[in-house]
Structures are given as C-alpha cells and as structure tokens.
A and B are shown apart, each in its own frame.
Chain A
Amino acid sequence: MPGPDKETDLTERIEAFLFDLNRGGSGAGPLRGSAETARETTALLRRITAQARWSSAGDLMEIIRNEGRRMTAAQPSETTVGNMIRRVLKIIREEYARSRGSSEEADQQESLHKLLTSGGVSDENFRQPFAALKPNVIEAINELLTELEGTTDNIAMQALEHIHSNEVIMTIGRSRTVEAFLKDAARKRKFHVIVAECAPFCQGHEMATSLSKAGIETTVITDAAIFAVMSRVNKVIIGTQTVLANGGLRAVNGTHTLALAAKHHSTPLIVCAPMFKLSPQFPNEEDTFHKFVSPHEVLPFTEGEILSKVNVHCPVFDYVPPELITLFISNIGGHAPSYIYRLMSELYHPEDHEL
C-alpha cells in the first residue's frame, strides 16, 4: 500500500540523514560543507511536508519540531540544521497566515502596543485546515532551496566591491565561500593572499593549493606567525561556521587570535557568511558551544609515556565577539554586526528560537 510505504521510506530517509549527521561531526565520515547540509535538511523537510500525515498547520509544525529536535540532538554543533528548520517553520506560519487572510507583517513585531492590547497569549493555534496550504508550503520551500543554491554566487559577486589591486589579504583555514569570493575577485584584480594553516587539521593547505591553482599569489604560514605577519596585511577575510544572534561568530579555532591581531593593527575583518548560517543562539548560553575532537590530533599516541599524565584539549571552534568584526558579507548584501539582530527577526519567528 502506498501509504505505509511512503511512511517507512520517509522514516528511513530521516534515519539515514541523522546517521550522516552523527558521523560527519565526529570527523570520521566525509566532511560536508554547511551549504550541503542546509540543502539536504531543506530537501528532507520538503519531503516530510509532502509525505507525512498532517491535516493542519499546527500538526505539520509539531512533526517538524519533533524531527528537528532529533536532528539537532544528533549533531549540536551543526547549526545549519536548526536554522533551516526554523526557516521552514516560519514559512509555514506565513503561509498559514496568508491563507487565513490576515496580514502577517503586522503580527511580526512584538511592539509594546501590541503586547498591551493583544490581551495575553496569541490565540493562533494553527488548527484551521486549509487545502491550499500544502502546495503553498512546498512552493515556498522550493524557493528557499533555490535561494540556498545561489548563496555562494551571490556572495562572490560582491567581491570586486571589496578587494582592490595589490592588496594583501589574510584568511584562515578553509571556507568554500571565501574561496569563491577570492577566485571571483582574482579574475579582474591581482592581489596576494596569506593563508594561516589552522592546525591541527591544516585545512589551510587545501585552501592554498586551490587558490594558487587559480593563479592567485598565495603564501602558507603557520598559526604562530599570524601576529608577526599581520602588520603587512590590508584585509582579513574569513568564513565562519555560525553567526550568533549578537553578531559574534562561532568560527574555526584560531580565528579569535586572528581577530585580535587584526584589531591591534586596525585591519578590517570581513566575514563572508550566507544567511543560512545565522542562528538565534547566544554565546555561552548552552554548554554545547564548544566542540572537542580526539586529542590525538594534538598529541599523538606515539608520545607514549606522557600521554596518561597530561590533559590534552582539541577544541574545534572559537568565539569571536562582535566588536572585533567590521563587516558581514552575505547573500543579501553587506551588514554591520550591529544589524544582525534585525535580520534574525526577519528570518525566524521568536517562538521558534527554542525548538
């Protein structure tokens, strides 16, 4: 029968996705970029919308929330999953409101006036079934998918506005967004790139080979030389794993040092981050901010005797406070860190911040 088959198929896909997430985060499986994760999450959510059994918007939101909780629990550091879920929830709310006919924009802001006059909790319980809801939601999710596919190109298109010729640009680790950004600028301008290798994973090496193959003058430096070399750098352009709600970053380890060195030399720090990386989390809110991987990357097992007597840490992420950041470049343009909270309110509904 088509019904149960579709359901089992759906659950299988969800399980497979969770498994991938679990593996990918521990470094054992293939490392996937955030864009890929975002796309897969959205595709999976579209499938859930299409195939799961639900009658009203509230049901759908419940289902998505449940699945979403499981997904974020599988890999807490992969925040794009949670972001996409919140986006889809927001889409559902919007579509529901549109179907109901009320103008959703007015309900967005929780202005003081609204709080006083609304008289208690909003009576939206999303229980009213609408026939056109399903195709509308699926269409909206498709739009979201096309937006996701174009993010890297949108960011790369802005490259020429920010890079002039004969510049020295520093970056750290490997970011596909920054790679595309720099390669796009290199088509028209000549500049020099310094890549900090970002031990212990040394992803900077890959970045450097890729950039140098595109004809960009690249130099690889060790993490220890970041401050030494910074005085000759004109701009620092980095990618990030997550943009936090206060405008800060959760980026690869070593980025905080890079940001401090840039601040000391008054070098602008530009973060290339697509919108799907924006997350409503605040730093130090959860104890899942830091992620650690096996310390054998830092002190290998060949060191033998001293291993048992020493504590070794290998954190993966760094927190960069917003006052060290000059500019965010995203697929919808450039923003200052102080504007991030506003963008967030457009992307996510406040009630969805806690899944």
Chain B
Amino acid sequence: TDVIIESSVGYFTEGPERKDDIVKAKQEGKELTKEEKQRLRKEKKQQKKSKEKKDDKPSRDSEKEKKPASAASPAPQTPTQPPAQKAPSAAPAPVPVPASETPSAADKPAKSKAELKAERRARQEAERASKGKKGDVGPQAAPGKPKAPPSELQPVVKRLPEHVQVDNPEVLKKLAKKLERQQIPLRSDYGYKVSLFSHLHQYSRKAPLTQQLGIPSTVIHPAIVRLGLQYSQGIVAGSNARSVALLHAFKQVIRDYTTPPNEELSRDLVNRLKPYISFLNQCRPLSASMGNAIKYIKKEISNIPSQCKEEEAKRKLLNCIDCYINEKIVLAAKAIAKYSIEKISDGDVILVYGCSSLVNHILCEAFEKNRKFRVIVVDSRPRLEGREALRRLVQKGINCTYVLISAVSYILPEVSKVFLGAHALLANGYVMSRVGTSQIALVAKAFNVPVLVCCETYKFCERVQTDSFVSNELDDPDDLIVTRTGTTQLEHWQEVPSLGLLNLVYDVTPPDFVDLVITDLGMIPCTSVPVVLRVKNVDQ
C-alpha cells in the first residue's frame, strides 16, 4: 500500500492518513472488486441491523460507517437525492466522508427525528441500490472479473449520468471535485438556457476547453487533447467518425504508455484512461457508440493476465482495437450495405436526411452495383450537414436533389423510400438520431412512404427514453443567428431577457414511424432491439 501512495501523487493531495481511502478509491476505479463487494455486503447487513435499532450509531466501526455516513451526510441536505449516486464507484464519495466522519459520529445521537427519518430513508435507498448492483454480479461475488452470469435480472437502478443533472448543485459540486482531482478544467455553461432544458449543459463553441489547459499538459495525452478539440469544434462529427477517432487516439495512448514500476498494466492503464474520458466528456458529451467502445476497451484491458509482458500486452490491445473497428464498423457497414441493396430497386427515389456515413456508403455501393435510382437530400439549419452528403453523392455521379427540411412535405409525394441513419437505438425501440429525423419519419408516415433505419449493432444502447427532453445535447445557441438581406435579427439576443435560442442536437423517433431497421445481424423491426442486446450480453 505504501507504493501505491507514492505513485498516486498526481491524483491525490491528501496525506498518508487517508491511505485506506485512497486504496479503496483506486481499487474502486475498477468495476466491482472483491473488497467492494464485501463492503457492500457488510453495509447491507449493517443497514438491516441499524434499521431495527435506531440509535445504534456509535457501535459501528469506521470502515462500515463510511458508507452509511456518506449516505447520511448528503441526506439531511437533500433527502430526495437519487440513491444511485451515493452508490460506490465514484471516487469523490470517500473524499468528503472522512472529514464528516467524526463530527457525524458525535452528532448522531443529537439529531432530530426528521433527520433520522431522512437518514433511514437514504439508507433504505442505498440498500436498494446496493441490492441492484449486487444483483448485477450475482449473490456470490466471483473474484476479479465481474463477468455477469446470465441472470434474468438486469440492474434496475443505474447511475444517472452527470450531464443530465446540470440543475442539481450537488452533482455539479461532485463533478467539480472530481475534475479538480484529475486536473481537468471544468467547462462553464453559456447563455440563457430554455427552462425546459435547464438540466442539460449548453456550451459555446468559441470557448473551447483547451484554452484553460496549461501548455504542455502533462496530465492529458496530446492525442486526446487534439481529439477533444476536434469534437468540441465539430471537426469530427457523426457517431461512427467519433468512435473511430476515439479508438485511434486510444491506440496512440497505449503505444506511448509505459507501466510504472510495481504496477499492473491491467489496473493502471484503466485508471490512466479515466481523466482522458472525463476530458472528452467535458469537450462534448460522449455518444452511445463511444460509450460502448470505451466499455469494450476497459474490459479488454482488465482481462490482460498479470504475467503478460508489457510489449506483448500492448500488442494484444492494439490488435483488439483494430479488430473492434474492423468488425463493428467496417464489416458491419459491408453487411448492412448488402442487405440494403436488396431493398433498393430500379427507378427508386430515395430520401436521406443529413449526413450519415452508413447511408452514404449504402447508396454508393448500390450505385456501383448499377441500380438506377435518384436521391433527395434533405438538410436543416444550422448544421447543414446535408451539403457534405450531397458532395459525396454527386462525386460518385448519383442524380441528386437538395431541399431544406421545411420543404419536405412538398417533395415527399415523389419519394418511394426513406433511408435514415441513427446515432443510437434505445432498448424500447426508439431511434435516437439527429434532430429532424423524427419529423421526416412523421411526414413520411403521413404520405405512406416506407422508412428504413440503418444502424450497426455496436450503437445499440440499454437506455430507454420516450421524449427528446430528458437526455439530449444542447449545441451552441449562437449558431441560430443568421444574416439575411443585411440585417441580423438575433444578433443581440443575450440582451433581451425573455428571448432564448434552442439548438438541439438529437431527437428520438417512436418505433411506429419506423418500418424496418437494417443491422449487420439482419433486418429487424424496431421492437427487436432489446432481443439483440440480450443476445449480445449473453455472448459476452
């Protein structure tokens, strides 16, 4: 444990008396370790005991008190805080706890009835959360790898991501502390946010995160800094492009990585990647495909056996990443193109929206296979991504028409099929895609035109969502400003207090608008997404 403290100077500034916590925190970084599970079990037993005896506070020892104390200390402030946040895995939890440990131990008998009630409630919820987490790994915790047995119950309570809780000051404080520890600057929100979206971040493109980083930055690898900047400025956009760029950057990180002495590559590398992921998240919230890719990499890294030499381990990892890209993106695109070409017949008029790399690929392949069709590209402000798609298709020689999304009901009577790309497919069958996709699907349905969504399986996501409000991304509101005939109407929108600009990035399309989803596993209806997810989980 001494050695661990030496090498963790960059992460922690507290003294060696916290080494217990530090060890736990470091190990907490991994997915549920042995100690973690033991502690959870202890905590659960403890909570059961303390529920019977209300004033049994001082009898607990310091270790067990940690978890309930951390549950209790925020509880009197906000008893309605989501329970999963207090669940272990976030490193900040142990940090404020030791400070509040001793005072809370002394105060406990003197607390009022209301506070006791709140504590009890918080403990119950934490217990429920721990029960959920434990259900994830099975009642008998298998040591080391958290390979989920094919249990029927999926975890019910997941940790709510920070980026949809911007209106909760607790969460923001925790995030600030975490970023400070990781030495990553915190990006501040910009402009007046529409009240319906006060729970989301809204950043300005003119203030990239890199302005607040020192040069040279020793904490974050330069490839990651560059990637973060490319994300936040919109240079790399589109879910496939972002995932591939992320994986390439991680390959560079792995190449440049050297294991510190007395450290295991499997553990240290994962911890090294954490601040990078926080940084990228600050630059632009991670997409579902990126999330899945990161999960895969972390799993691969933690699966490296400890006796493996560093060179060999690195080679293995690089190989894994290449395989992932090849399998999930390149070959998947080929498979999807093969299925889709069966659906394109001669004389078709195909409508596409925005720029989806997959849909463009399909159309180019179909054109090469000598199908006769023409394409209508629909575009929308302010991103105007359709122009990029238009360029690529015209370069191939495909006959194209171009309209804006407000003209879609004019042009739809001519259309025979609609091909849409997706950013993620949610577990309840909803399609999360660029804002405007649901509108096109709606109008296509009204005109009885079939809508086909093309999506690789690595974009399938276990989340569920029914509307476009609870989880979305707000882009820079200044993008909506436009100068027409010499006047810029919204130039001074910040000065008008009752005026807000809303620049959404994603929206969700209900499954009844979508007729078919073409994936690399075949052509499935929208409602079969959870089946695919389940099959994937069992395979892994």
Partner of B402, one of A209, A231, A312: A312
Q: List 7 A-B contacts (CB under 8 A).
A: A219-B194, A224-B435, A226-B439, A232-B469, A303-B387, A313-B403, A314-B403
Interface residues of B in 362-397 (CB under 8 A from A): 380-382, 387, 390-391, 394
Partner of B380, one of A222, A313, A318: A222
Closest 8 CB pairs of A and B: A224-B436, A254-B406, A205-B489, A228-B507, A212-B499, A224-B380, A256-B409, A228-B468
- Cβ A209 vs Cβ B499 within 8 A: yes
Chain B residues with CB below 8 A from A215, complex form: 498
- Cβ A222 vs Cβ B435 within 8 A: yes
Partner of A253, one of B196, B387, B406: B406
Closest to B412 in A: A256
- Cβ B490 vs Cβ A220 within 8 A: yes
Question: Are A220 and B500 also in contact (CB < 8 A) when A205-B490, A257-B406, A315-B407 are?
Answer: yes
- Cβ B409 vs Cβ A318 within 8 A: yes
- Cβ A299 vs Cβ B387 within 8 A: yes
Question: Are A200 and B439 also in contact (CB < 8 A) when A209-B496, A220-B480, A310-B390 are?
Answer: no
Interface residues of B in 141-192 (CB under 8 A from A): none
Chain B residues with CB below 8 A from A200, complex form: 404, 406
Chain B residues with CB below 8 A from A219, complex form: 194, 499-502
Measured in the bound complex, the distance between the Cα atoms of B382 and A213 in whole Å is 24
- Cβ A290 vs Cβ B499 within 8 A: no
Interface residues of A in 44-78 (CB under 8 A from B): none
Chain B residues with CB below 8 A from A311, complex form: 400-402
Kindly provide the distance from the CB of B45 to the nearest chain A CB, expressed in whole angstroms: 45
- Cβ A224 vs Cβ B405 within 8 A: yes
- Cβ A313 vs Cβ B407 within 8 A: yes
- Cβ A228 vs Cβ B504 within 8 A: yes
- Cβ B439 vs Cβ A261 within 8 A: yes
Measured in the bound complex, the distance between the Cα atoms of B468 and A220 in whole Å is 17
- Cβ A221 vs Cβ B502 within 8 A: yes
Measured in the bound complex, the distance between the Cα atoms of B193 and A217 in whole Å is 12
**Does B130 reach chain A (CB closer than 8 Å)?**
no
Kindly provide the distance from the CB of B202 to the nearest chain A CB, expressed in whole angstroms: 13
Kindly provide the distance from the CB of A142 to the nearest chain B CB, expressed in whole angstroms: 37
Chain A residues with CB below 8 A from B380, complex form: 199, 222-224
- Cβ A198 vs Cβ B507 within 8 A: no
**Does A342 reach chain B (CB closer than 8 Å)?**
no
Measured in the bound complex, the distance between the Cα atoms of B508 and A224 in whole Å is 12
**Does A187 reach chain B (CB closer than 8 Å)?**
no
Interface residues of A in 265-302 (CB under 8 A from B): 290, 298-299
- Cβ A257 vs Cβ B484 within 8 A: no
Chain B residues with CB below 8 A from A208, complex form: 489-490, 499
**Does B442 reach chain A (CB closer than 8 Å)?**
yes
Measured in the bound complex, the distance between the Cα atoms of B484 and A215 in whole Å is 25
**Number of A interface residues, CB 8 Å?**
50
Closest to A216 in B: B498
Apart from A199-B406, A209-B490, list 12 A-B contacts with CB within 8 A: A205-B490, A209-B493, A215-B498, A220-B480, A220-B490, A223-B405, A225-B504, A228-B504, A228-B507, A257-B408, A313-B403, A313-B410
Chain A residues with CB below 8 A from B194, complex form: 219
- Cβ B502 vs Cβ A310 within 8 A: no
**Does B63 reach chain A (CB closer than 8 Å)?**
no
Chain A residues with CB below 8 A from B409, complex form: 253, 256-257, 260, 318-319
**Does A201 reach chain B (CB closer than 8 Å)?**
yes
Closest to B484 in A: A202
- Cβ B503 vs Cβ A222 within 8 A: yes
- Cβ A206 vs Cβ B406 within 8 A: no
**Interface positions of A (Cβ within 8 A of B):** 197-202, 205-206, 208-209, 212-213, 215-229, 231-232, 253-254, 256-257, 260-261, 264, 290, 298-299, 303, 306, 309-315, 318-319
**Does B482 reach chain A (CB closer than 8 Å)?**
yes
**Does B467 reach chain A (CB closer than 8 Å)?**
yes
- Cβ A202 vs Cβ B482 within 8 A: yes
**Does B438 reach chain A (CB closer than 8 Å)?**
yes
Interface size on B, as a range, is: 35 or more
Kindly provide the distance from the CB of A199 to the nearest chain B CB, expressed in whole angstroms: 5
- Cβ B439 vs Cβ A227 within 8 A: yes
**Does B446 reach chain A (CB closer than 8 Å)?**
yes
**Does B294 reach chain A (CB closer than 8 Å)?**
no
- Most central of B406, B482, B484 by chain A CB within 10 Å: B406
Closest to B379 in A: A298
Partner of A314, one of B381, B407, B442, B489: B407
Kindly provide the distance from the CB of B73 to the nearest chain A CB, expressed in whole angstroms: 36
Measured in the bound complex, the distance between the Cα atoms of B482 and A209 in whole Å is 13
Chain A residues with CB below 8 A from B469, complex form: 231-232
- Cβ A260 vs Cβ B410 within 8 A: no
| Per-residue interface assignment for chain B, residues 410 to 421, with 1 indicating a CB less than 8 Å from any chain A CB and 0 otherwise | 110000000000
Kindly provide the distance from the CB of B448 to the nearest chain A CB, expressed in whole angstroms: 13
Question: Are A313 and B439 also in contact (CB < 8 A) when A298-B404, A303-B387 are?
Answer: no
Chain B residues with CB below 8 A from A218, complex form: 498-500
Chain B residues with CB below 8 A from A314, complex form: 403-404, 407
Measured in the bound complex, the distance between the Cα atoms of B498 and A190 in whole Å is 12
Chain A residues with CB below 8 A from B499, complex form: 208-209, 212, 218-220
- Cβ B410 vs Cβ A318 within 8 A: yes
- Cβ A212 vs Cβ B489 within 8 A: no
Kindly provide the distance from the CB of B406 to the nearest chain A CB, expressed in whole angstroms: 3
Measured in the bound complex, the distance between the Cα atoms of B443 and A318 in whole Å is 13
Question: Are A260 and B381 also in contact (CB < 8 A) when A208-B499, A306-B394, A310-B402 are?
Answer: no
Question: Are A290 and B410 also in contact (CB < 8 A) when A220-B490, A227-B438, A261-B439 are?
Answer: yes
Chain A residues with CB below 8 A from B484, complex form: 201-202
Measured in the bound complex, the distance between the Cα atoms of B381 and A227 in whole Å is 15
Chain A residues with CB below 8 A from B442, complex form: 227, 257, 260-261, 264
Chain A residues with CB below 8 A from B493, complex form: 209, 220
Chain A residues with CB below 8 A from B402, complex form: 298-299, 310-313
| Per-residue interface assignment for chain B, residues 485 to 513, with 1 indicating a CB less than 8 Å from any chain A CB and 0 otherwise | 00001100100101111111001100000
Measured in the bound complex, the distance between the Cα atoms of B501 and A217 in whole Å is 11
- Cβ A310 vs Cβ B438 within 8 A: no
Kindly provide the distance from the CB of A299 to the nearest chain B CB, expressed in whole angstroms: 6
- Most central of A228, A257, A319 by chain B CB within 10 Å: A228
- Cβ A213 vs Cβ B496 within 8 A: yes
Chain A residues with CB below 8 A from B411, complex form: 313
Closest to B401 in A: A311
Chain B residues with CB below 8 A from A298, complex form: 402-404
Chain B residues with CB below 8 A from A225, complex form: 435-436, 502, 504, 507
Kindly provide the distance from the CB of A283 to the nearest chain B CB, expressed in whole angstroms: 13
- Cβ A310 vs Cβ B401 within 8 A: yes
Chain A residues with CB below 8 A from B390, complex form: 306, 310
Partner of B404, one of A205, A223, A232, A318: A223
Kindly provide the distance from the CB of A239 to the nearest chain B CB, expressed in whole angstroms: 16
Chain A residues with CB below 8 A from B446, complex form: 260
Question: Are A222 and B496 also in contact (CB < 8 A) when A197-B480, A202-B484, A205-B490 are?
Answer: no
Closest to B509 in A: A227
Chain B residues with CB below 8 A from A206, complex form: 489
Chain A residues with CB below 8 A from B439, complex form: 224, 226-228, 257, 261
Question: Are A223 and B406 also in contact (CB < 8 A) when A257-B442, A261-B439, A313-B411 are?
Answer: yes
Closest to A208 in B: B499
Kindly provide the distance from the CB of B487 to the nearest chain A CB, expressed in whole angstroms: 9
- Most central of A202, A227, A306 by chain B CB within 10 Å: A227
Kindly provide the distance from the CB of B364 to the nearest chain A CB, expressed in whole angstroms: 16
Closest to A309 in B: B394
Measured in the bound complex, the distance between the Cα atoms of B482 and A229 in whole Å is 22
- Cβ A309 vs Cβ B498 within 8 A: no
